[in-house]
Structure 1
Amino acid sequence: MKIKIPILIILIFPVLFSCQIEKKNSEYPANIGDIEFNPDTDNKDYNLCFRKYIFQYFNYTSETENYKGEKIEIDKIFFMQYKNQNIPNETGLVRIRFIVNCKGETDRFRMIEMDEHYKPKNFDSKITSQLMGISKGLKGWKSKKINEHDVDYYQYLIFKIENGNLIEIMP
């Protein structure tokens, strides 16, 4: 059976033009929740070991075992350094998320603030600047290996605030 050339072209034409061209600079991160470099706030000299993949918190067992002294030490540092503010209605949660590289160094800190009903809120800077400053000052983050490879990973801390006072640190 002989297929005529015009019919062959009609059959091949959709296949040729159905291929998608890869977009080099996507407007979306490779993974949901990735923290992209921001030259206005992030350290340009901060190096990641494996740029293409940063492990999420759920890729390992315990979030606080990644810190020397674990959660007890984190609590101790914050409750010693944070100065309670006693500001009425400054109640809710502040989450600070960041990256720990394979050397245990941190950067790319991002903050999300919400009220006690999980709605967006802007806390007084007397609160947030302290929480961010203390978080950036934590120097006990451990490097991590997964399958014998050095990895970078995301870490987060959530602070429960009531009337400007630090009540609890999670996780």
Structure 2
Amino acid sequence: MIEIFLRSFLLFFFVVGAISCQSKQQDSLENTYLRFVGDIQGDSDLDKPEFNTCNGDERVFQYFNTGEGFRYKGEKTTLVSKIQKLYKPLQNIPNQSGYIRIRFIVNCKGEAGRFRVLASDFNYQEKEFDKAIIDQLLSIIERLDGWEIMTKSDKTLDYYLYLIFKIDNGHIIEILP
């Protein structure tokens, strides 16, 4: 009888302990991972302090969520034209080919901020481009002022956007999406 009581007692504490550990592990995971892949958390070392989302970081949509697609005054052709006029390819810097993705948020006022860069070669392997190329592209994107305000059900939204630059020997050969 005592043996059954001890086994039941141990089983009870084992189950309670397992549930407690699982709960702590879940809390830890929730604090580690972002809400969605690609979310951009604010970083005081990278971001300008005057840039803010209007609806909170939990309410930033992907640009395609409303079905309206890419949003820039004059459409993508105007955006590409502006970037190509401003970009000056660097000469005599070897191995500067691949993709540079700049991801950012456009807030409900049409302001862009929280820029993040990811670069790869043409085989999608992580790559480091010359800092002058990255800095020039970031500077151009930060200065653009034609981002359109996105709405859904008559409410203004904050939204994520990205531009991918296909670079060949330091020259922009395509801008996506």
Cα offset for 1:168?
Answer: 1.1
Corresponding position: 1:104 with 2:99: no
1:139 to 136, 141, 145: 145
Cα offset for 1:57?
Answer: 3.0
Larger CA deviation: 124-133 vs 83-92: 83-92
Shift in alpha-carbon separation, 1:31–1:160, aligned structure 2, 3 A: same
Query: Is 1:159–1:170's contact at 8 Å kept on the other side of the alignment?
Result: yes
Q: Which residue of 2 aligns with 1:130?
A: 136
Distance (Å, rounded) in 2 between the aligned partners of 1:111 and 1:134: 14
Corresponding position: 1:46 with 2:48: no
Corresponding position: 1:149 with 2:155: yes
Query: Is 1:161–1:167's contact at 8 Å kept on the other side of the alignment?
Result: yes
Distance (Å, rounded) in 2 between the aligned partners of 1:125 and 1:46: 24
Q: What TM-score does the superposition give when structure 1 sets the normalisation length?
A: 0.83
Corresponding position: 1:30 with 2:49: no
SS class of match (2:100): strand
Distance (Å, rounded) in 2 between the aligned partners of 1:133 and 1:62: 27
Segments of structure 2 that go 5 or more residues without pairing to the other structure are none
Q: Which residue of 2 aligns with 1:113?
A: 119
Residue type at the aligned position of 2:42: F
Shift in alpha-carbon separation, 1:115–1:41, aligned structure 2, 3 A: same
Segments of structure 1 that go 5 or more residues without pairing to the other structure are 1-5
SS class of match (1:145): strand
Query: Is 1:63–1:155's contact at 8 Å kept on the other side of the alignment?
Result: no
CA RMSD of aligned residues (A): 2.5
Q: Which residue of 2 aligns with 1:71?
A: 76
- Per-residue CA deviations over 1:68-99 (Å, capped at 9, x if unaligned) read 01111111111101001243321101000000
Larger CA deviation: 33-42 vs 49-58: 49-58
Percent of aligned positions that are identical: 42
